Structure 1
Amino acid sequence: MSTALKPNPDLSLSFATSSRPSYSKPNSTHTHLPRLPSLTFSGLSVASSSGPSKSRSLCAVSKNVGSDQDGGFSYKDAGVDIDAGAELVRRIAKMAPGIGGFGGLFPLGDSYLVAGTDGVGTKLKLAFDTGIHDTIGIDLVAMSVNDIVTSGAKPLFFLDYYATSRLDVDLAEKVIKGIVNGCQQSDCVLLGGETAEMPGFYAEGEYDLSGCAVGIVKKESVINGKSIVAGDVLIGLPSSGVHSNGFSLVRRVLDHSGLSLKDQLPGNSVTLGEAVMAPTVIYVKQVLDIISKGGVKGIAHITGGGFTDNIPRVFPKGLGAVIYNNSWEIPAVFKWIQEAGRIEDVEMRRTFNMGIGMVLVVSKEASQRIIEEENGAYCIGEVITGEGVSYR
């Protein structure tokens, strides 16, 4: 059973209401908002060192590069080069060995502190276009806590960074309410953050977000993939849609589809805007509950890089995965993106989660129990001897 510390409301209050240090930036002003407590990477894996395990996430920034080709769109056409990001991870790993996991592990007595940091990418652009700001904070929390729970860590606290050219208090309040909501779903505390006003740096009415989550797991309970063997089973937990990766490609498809965000998703009652802005599922409570019952050997958060890059990150050397085709229902939004953008299967699988936001590698014995107990969980594949991810 996974052992984790329970949040202490009294201790959380003493931290969360304290002032946070700030360092002034040239030509900027900072508004320090006390944050009340809430009770509640896409990169390639590299060899771990004997010291603390470190994570490294790659922030994919769209350059809005067009494509003159007549074929389907790709993530690279939209301005995001996953291979370039992976090369950066390899170079950083030479300077800081151990980089590459979903979360960074720092030893603390008989436990590890596990930390992760992330943003929500160019999904923010669609938040500006749709006016949907009350759930983007959920996405922000989800991207970090879903990373650290892959080690079996219980999130303890979250910190956010909100930056804008001119502070719109009402808009910022909506965003921060979403962050509080995400922390409640994660059973962690919003400990503090930074609100930065930087005139002239961002477009009028726009803002940027990033955040950091820290959790804890007993050393004997850490999930690290080392015990995975051929024949183990892949269990997929359903996503709510696109989550927070691949939006540079989503936006490119939207630009060329002739449809607006107010149009209905073909064959569906929701609008395209509602479909693509559905908040990222926070898997923390579900995954920790599954871990507590035994049999979980490895966990992959399906973010940028899709199945192709993320599942192999949790395998020992010499092991790969087979994914069973048609073993779960692919959400309509992905079918529309693929058809409207004429996107190849291999590109979809390396860019999007395709309806599976978290993959658990478990023993055969545990797989049957999990499928029976977890509503919506799918048996999506198995571990094999080999390399990479294949489909059949």
Structure 2
Amino acid sequence: MAEIRGGWDTSSGKRITVKGQRGVQGIEFDDRCVITLRKLNVLLREKYLPKDFPYTTPYTEGKARVKYRDALFTMRTGALAAGSGGTAVTHGFGVEIAANPIRMSVQLGSSNDPARKSLFERHGYPGVKVNTHAFRHELNTRMYQAGLSQLLIDSFSGRTTMGSVYNHETIEERTQGVADYHPKTKHSTAAQRLNKVKTNQPLSLVDVRELSEGEQDRIIHQTHLGVCVHNFASEPCPKMGACLDCGLLGCVKGDDVKLGNLREERDDLKLRLDKALDAQSRGVFGASESAKKLGEKLYKCEAFIQTLENPELENGAIVWNADNGWTLTKNAAAMSGLIEVKVIEENQAQEALPSLDDVLALLDEIEG
């Protein structure tokens, strides 16, 4: 709340004066307050909702309950013209919550007064009108399209009866929704997976691999390179973010954003490997080990890129990484002498790592 108040402190504005004119002509504000959904949630609860909402009476602590039909319209202060209604405007820390329905009706084009321009007319869309209730229909339709149940939608909307009349999905959209789940017409698992990745929907463990006996489904983490099936509820990342060393990393074919990140990672690894090889040639201590590790990562990164660029691989298919066998725990144990390095290397998931000659040959191929 303090951050929101500070960002909208009207006393900190810069006064504007014009030569030849008396008095202050205006005040210029440096709006540095970023309103996020989290801040808006805090503002709504602090300013409008009683303590322990919704487990409380409608009126406590001097806060009147905001009705759903009014709370639908929340906007930045100043988004509506000041003279667009007969009701006083409340400016609440730069965010106007539960905008007055009379003002909203005027702003959306219901006024017959030519002197009052609607929100659409001020932005170059003359003749466009819409009533406030249409937004409730639009919101409910989007909920249906997102797959929410009728009961959940009605509960969210504050209804006591079924509200299916609020669903304005087209016949084609409903038909496609049925086809997506019908055994003979539904999309493949890979296609559904790719659609979730491209639309930033949460991915579950069952979306990327079959669950083992007794294993529970859960939401999985997505990294800048792909998907990660590590269970962060049991322990932190054992690789400390070294994704290219981890066998729990999977890359989805068709995810152009992650493929672009892999290409950037390859370019960065190549530069770092060139420096490590130069240091190795000058006999710098530790350079040979660094060159070996960077070479392994570069080899994997290039293998990922070539595989994901293969047109024969189905879009949505997952390409899994090979683990190098090392974790922070094993590294600490090896440094303490509790475990032999050769034991870790012998038990590593991959069968064989590329030699330095293989990496150098790969560099020549990349530079082409």
Relative to the length of structure 2, the TM-score reads 0.23
Greater relative contact order (Cα 8 A, min sep 6): structure 1 or 2?
1
- Bigger Rg, which one: 2
Task: Write 1 or 2 for the structure with the bigger share of helix.
Answer: 2
